A and B are shown apart, each in its own frame.
Chain A
Amino acid sequence: MSKSADKVCQLLLREQFGVVAEKIGCHLLCKGPCPLRWLTAEVGLKLDQVRKMLCFLIQHNLVIYEKNKRGILEYRMAVEPTLWRCRFPKYIYCAKTLYGDAAELLVEEMLHHGQVLMNDVVQRVTNRLNEALRESGHPEISARVVYDKFCSLARTHFIMRCTTTSAETENSTIQASENEHSQYEVPSMEIDGDGRVKRKRSSDESDQPVKRQKTGETTTKEEKIYWRVNFDRFHQHFRDQAIVAAIASKVDKKASEVLRTMLRISEVKSASHAPVTTPVSFTEILQALPKEVGLTRNVTEQYLALLSEDSTEIVSKMGNSGGGMYSVNIYKGLISICKAHIESVVQERFGSKSLRIFRVLLLKKHLEQKQIEDLAMVPAKEAKEILYRMFAQRFISITEISKTPDHAPSRTFYLFTVNLQQVARMLIQKCYQAMANALIKRESELMEHRRLLDKQERVDAITATLEQTGADEAQKEEVEQMITPAEKTQLNQIKETRNKLDQAELQLDDTIFILETFLFYTEQETCVS
């Protein structure tokens, strides 16, 4: 991984787990897999601290441990899951839009703890939901509802069982050999009449001596299954949504609905990372189209024809059986989205004339300087300047083709070209750098105004308690006046800056996601061909 991505990892670890995690993570990232003793010695922390932190990181699926050749356990940082931590709000939001509030809380809890037991998480979410419902005066819901949500999340593979990675137990081989489907099987849960999760071991029993717990049948196998969020599935969903949104902006809303339906049907049928989905027939699409969209048979046919003739080639017609077989080319879709992203970067960085030249290059692949000037209809001198500027910033690259073997410059063609992969990689680096900068800036902003923020926190706490005890307005006002108007404006300013930086991080991550998915698919393609 690159240096800037490492930096982002490090900053995220510090933000979410503290300084100890940062030190450990930083060391593991620099040195690669390490055994415990070595790590402790190098990091210069207490052994117990390192142990505890490693446990936390393992639980959050950020550290992976395995035995090396000599049989010593080595700990390795999982870089990508760490970087995905800034994508967490999106996972939660996605669960909310798909399955509602209960699913939102379920995913949130799972992300908070990394790995959870089903019973625990369902109980906790039920409690949280009920608390909120009670406050707003609604009737409470039972754990059954939450359990159903859990089941549907598992059925659509958004959550999965954790495989035990422990090297010393033989379980790992058994777990690994388990087929894919059993990863998402949900064990049944007992829910009693009050809508609470039944605890097999009631509270009075838990005080019993050690022996009882050991010999008793309290912990069955089902209770030992830990669950985690399946990031891959979420990414697939984001990917599909990006393609649907692209079509919506290129064609129109209804066309995007048709595409969404196609993706939904083929979701179950095709392999998770297949560049082209399995073809689906026209009748299937028509049946699966939601009624609210209001598309008739005729119009749908026209939309499909339109989509398959589109220059992006996202939808293509594969055959004529069943009223026409259509498939979605995800890779092509990603290419066009990625191109659009890069083009907008070029426009914002170099101006619209540069974009014109860039587009000409994308279209014609290899061009000489003279040809570019003519095709882009930009004056020669300006075109050169722009070209060289973009070349210097590595947005375009050069291929040299020499007429003679001596590679003399006068007898050589210099062909300008755009290497999408390379540009995408470079932009990812820039994004990570920007992300790291945003994280650093946000933290320094907080440190700078620590005193003021603490004060506000205290005042808020006092007003909250005053409200609870039912104090009169005058008292409350008095407390609130502890923050001077000048401080108030400053606080607002801090808040605004922080929001902006947070928002920037989220939106940067969107770009990173698109570019990375594009690169992932490109690598897959090159592997196949």
Chain B
Amino acid sequence: MSGRGRGKGKSVSFNVEALGFGKGEALPTATLQPPPLFPPQEFKPVPLLHGDDWEYTLALKQEFRATIRKSPYFIHGNEKKKDIERYSDKYQIGNHDANTEWTPDWERFPEELRIKEKKVKKIKSVIKPIIPARKKKPPQDVDFEKTLEILEKKEEDTKVEEDVKEKEGEEEEDEEDDDEKKEGEEEEIFEEDELEEETDYIMSYFDNGEGYGDDDDDADEGPIY
């Protein structure tokens, strides 16, 4: 059938002698194994070149690698999760976040890559927080004169507030002026203090939500005071 014309040991269709095998010589047997992973070396590799140039480039290479590994561009992956906080963690090399040093020029990068950071508003203790709508409970009593008095006070307050607002818009550093004014209006400050007492600490960190959403416009101008 299919084996017609193929004798023993002659499994190829061409003249074996052309390959350099004599008549009657046994053909090499087929290899059925994969070649070894590390075959024995027939020839020893030539030694590397030496010279001052190579030595210098080698030093440059090692120095470059060391520097780039310390640069902000190298991010250590969080390889292992910490089971517990150890005292020695503080002194471990590479645990510090050096990435804060890098301040990119955002004009050169796509907008979508910008990391939107939550900005912590720094508020100077001297400057009073702007409280947009002061929710005062409407006076319950029907005392006419008292109501008038309160309304008068309110008017004054808003004026002062506007003043303060303007000032903040223009120049924040003018603290001395601010102080002087405050001295004149002790009453007003007293009121504010009263208000703050209830919400003592949090008040100074109050975020009125005005800045929310327009991070995009502000971020390249630096932090907001």
* B225 adjacent to chain A (CB < 8 Å): yes
The verdict on B46 contacting chain A, using a C-beta distance below 8 Å, is: yes
Q: Are B57 and A380 in contact (CB under 8 A)?
A: no
CB-defined contacts of B67 to chain A, threshold 8 Å: 112
B83 CB within 8 Å of chain A: no
B33-52 toward A: CB 8 Å interface, digit per residue (1/0)? 00000000011011011000
Main secondary structure of the interface of B (DSSP, over half): loop
Known A18-B75, A349-B43, A503-B48: A89·B109 in contact at CB below 8 Å: no
Whether B14 and A19, one on each chain, are in contact in the complex, defined by CB atoms closer than 8 angstroms, is no
A78 to B75, CA, bound (A): 20
Residues in A neighbouring B3, C-beta threshold 8 A:
none
Q: Is B75 a contact partner of A503 (Cβ separation < 8 A)? A: no
Decide: A52 near B108, CB < 8 A? Known: A89-B61, A209-B172.
no
Closest CB in chain B relative to A430 CB, distance in Å: 13
Contact B58 A89 (CB under 8 A): yes
How does the 8 Å CB contact mask read for B7-42 relative to A, with 1 for contact and 0 for none? 000000111000110000000000000000000001
Q: Tell me whether A65 and B75 are in contact (CB under 8 A).
A: no
- CB neighbours (8 Å) of B180 from chain A are none
Q: Which A residues touch B223, using CB under 8 A? A: 210
Task: Note all chain A residues with C-beta closer than 8 A to B208.
Answer: none
- The CA of A48 and the CA of B19, in the complex, are separated in Å by 65
Q: Mark B85-118, 1 if CB is under 8 A from A, else 0.
A: 0000000010000010010110111111111000
**Which residue in A51, A58, A164, A166 is a CB contact (below 8 Å) of B115?**
A51
Say yes or no: A384 contacts B20, CB within 8 Å: yes
Chain A residues 93-119 with CB under 8 Å of chain B are 93, 108, 111-112, 115
Q: Does A404 count as interface, using CB distance less than 8 angstroms?
A: no
Collect the chain B residues with CB atoms within 8 Å of residue A505's CB.
Answer: 61
A31 interface contact, C-beta 8 A: no
Asked if A131 is at the interface (CB within 8 A of a chain B CB), the reply is no
> A499, B115: Cβ atoms under 8 Å?
no
170-225 of chain B: CB within 8 A of chain A: 172, 218, 221-225
Does A409 lie within 8 Å of B64, measured CB to CB? no
CA A80 – CA B41 in complex, angstroms?
32
> Shortest beta-carbon distance, B13 to chain A, in Å?
7
Kindly state the separation between the CA atoms of A115 and B112 in the bound complex, as whole angstroms. Answer: 20
- Asked if residues B54 and A17 are in contact (CB atoms below 8 Å), the reply is no
Contacts of A36 in B (CB 8 A): 112-113
B25 CB to nearest chain A CB (Å): 11
* B76 at interface by CB-CB < 8 Å: yes
* B111 and A503 form a contact (CB under 8 A): no
Complex contact A502–B61 (CB within 8 A) = yes
Complex partner residue of B60 from A49, A89, A210, A507, CB under 8 angstroms: A89
**CB neighbours of B58 from chain A (8 A):** 89, 499, 502-503, 506
A348 close to B48 (CB less than 8 A): no
Set B57, B68, B79, B112: member contacting A506, Cβ < 8 A? B57
Whether B64 and A108, one on each chain, are in contact in the complex, defined by CB atoms closer than 8 angstroms, is: yes
Are the CB atoms of A21 and B113 closer together than 8 Å?
A: no
Residue A424 lies at the interface, judged by CB distance under 8 Å to chain B: no
User: A19-B79, A89-B57 are contacts. A55–B15 as well, Cβ < 8 Å?
Assistant: no
Nearest A residue to B76 via CB reads: A18
Q: Is the CB of B61 within 8 A of A55?
A: no
Q: Complex formed: what's the CA distance from A49 to B78 in Å?
A: 11
B115 lies within 8 A of A348 (CB): no
- Contact in complex: A213, B222 (CB < 8 Å): yes
**Is B62 in contact with chain A by the CB < 8 A criterion?**
yes
- A sample of 18 inter-chain contacts (CB < 8 A) reads A52-B115, A59-B73, A73-B112, A90-B57, A93-B53, A93-B56, A112-B67, A166-B107, A166-B110, A168-B110, A213-B222, A224-B107, A348-B43, A349-B43, A380-B20, A410-B15, A500-B48, A502-B61
Contact surface of A with B, Cβ cutoff 8 Å: 15-21, 36, 48-49, 51-56, 58-60, 65, 73, 88-90, 92-93, 108, 111-112, 115, 162, 164, 166-169, 209-211, 213-214, 224, 226, 348-349, 351, 380-381, 384, 408-410, 454, 457, 499-500, 502-507
Given A16-B69, A18-B76, A112-B67, 8 more A-B residue pairs with CB atoms under 8 Å apart are A16-B65, A89-B61, A108-B64, A166-B107, A209-B172, A408-B14, A502-B61, A502-B62
